[in-house]
Structure 1
């Protein structure tokens, strides 16, 4: 679909294989690697990414940091720290929306035109996938309404069929 002059699509596969301006990393607050997409991005980028992340001194939940992509096809990596799910009553939706907004603002400021987002906080942080997808799509749509034409393409990446289906449903709900 198109939102504010930006193509927003769902893509299934390994985010580390995408040749975009930047991929977003669902990082932990240390930025020093971990499991899931974070570990895959660090493995794909090589040791230079870890060295650059060490210099950043971490990242609070809801904020984002920009690094090089090193050995990845993506030129850069935007690291953002999503909230841990505690049942929804501790501001998780606002923090998750802030992750997307911070990442998009950072990308916009750096002149990045093509981005790929994983499903932030839905792995070990336990955020329910359908709820997280709704927050993600809403945050992206809000920014694109405020800044039409800010990006060429934004990909929402599901690693497997189930994650992809949830993202597609959230995007389709926005169209209706």
Structure 2
């Protein structure tokens, strides 16, 4: 199972070998800061136009659009919880990852790249978010046999290392 999961440092908007990238969206699915801003800038105005028809979404939900000018086939937009405001935050964050994977499976997507949802402006503690993200992916992937690769694309080396250690711990290895 872990051979289907990788963690690397990089730019989520520059993953040309991945079918679908995941946007850390806001409820209106519009451009913003962080991941949403990077993906919307790279995708061009067509993404915002396509998103308008699907907004608003609630915390934990995921919707899919085309990728427009991104080098991918699709973008899956997830609204993660604002830590301390949207409760139960752990269940809502897990729902983002689970719903994105199940949506990807239904659309025949073979590879998907996630950012660290809710850890930026939404304030989720990174270690707790990594544990929820990776444990949810590990429990959901067996129900998604068409997905061959789940990539976590992390902003910096600290986040990458945290995700790699967390994954190793969850599968019984040593960090």
Fold conserved between structures, TM > 0.5: yes
1:24 and 1:118 in contact (8 A); partners too:
yes
1:39-54 equivalences under 5 Å are 39-54=37-52
- Distance, in Å, in 2 between the alignment partners of 1:57 and 1:128 is 27
Match of 2:29 in 1: 31
- Would you say 1:142 and 2:139 are equivalent positions? yes
- Would you say 1:13 and 2:40 are equivalent positions? no
- Would you say 1:156 and 2:152 are equivalent positions? yes
Alignment counterpart, residue 174 of structure 1, candidates 147, 170, 173: 170
After superposition, the CA RMSD in angstroms is 1.4
- Would you say 1:116 and 2:106 are equivalent positions? no
Q: How many equivalent pairs are there? A: 171
TM (normalized to structure 2)?
Answer: 0.93
Match of 1:76 in 2: 74
1:144 and 1:150 in contact (8 A); partners too:
no
- Provide structure 1 residue ranges, at least 5 long, that are not aligned to the other structure: none
Please state whether the residue corresponding to 2:28 is helix, strand or coil: coil
- CA spacing shift, 1:13–1:31, aligned 2, 3 Å: same
- Distance, in Å, in 2 between the alignment partners of 1:15 and 1:57 is 22
Moved segments of 4+, more than 3 Å: none
TM (normalized to structure 1)?
Answer: 0.93
Please state whether the residue corresponding to 1:103 is helix, strand or coil: helix
- Provide structure 2 residue ranges, at least 5 long, that are not aligned to the other structure: none
